[in-house]
Amino acid sequence: MRKALIAFIPFLTACAGEPPQNIGMNNGRLAACPESPNCVSSYATDEAHGIQPLAANLAQIEQVLVGNDAANIVHAADNYLYAEFTSRIMGYVDDVEFLFDQTSGLTHVRSASRLGYSDMGANRKRIEAIRSALANSPN
């Protein structure tokens, strides 16, 4: 049993993958989603990838993330927030970015899996859970 567990540990760390090189703002926007169905973005216009921006500022979003055990805030700036979300069982890491648009008062979002092709809707569900938590927060 111990040998099987030791052999399984490298597999778990492999699920994390390497952080993508396209994280951050580019020309005032977040990166586009790849063609694979494991990403959602408020900048995307197609049904598979498109999602509405969040009606919240970054301080409100950060409050929600701090209360989420799966979230790790990697970088926070005036109008940008980047967090990694790690799944409990397999240790898969998804990269989630938030870009606040002061003019509209909305926060654009991009949530993408590091590995695999399909995420079974996990990124969309995550953003909608954040949206719901924001709606239910006292602020």
Domains of the chain: 2-136 (3.30.310)
C-alpha pair distances (Å), 109 with each of 9, 10, 13, 73:
32, 31, 26, 14
**CA-based nearest residue to 113, from 44, 25, 40, 47:** 40
Q: What pLDDT sits at residue 17?
A: 75
Q: What pLDDT sits at residue 8?
A: 40
Q: What pLDDT sits at residue 116?
A: 83
Q: What pLDDT sits at residue 105?
A: 96
Averages of pLDDT over runs of 10 residues in the chain (139 residues) are: 42 62 89 95 97 98 96 96 92 96 97 90 96 89
Q: What pLDDT sits at residue 16?
A: 66
Distance CA 85, CA 125 (A): 13
Instruction: Say how far residue 88 (Cα) sits from the centre of its chain.
Output: 15
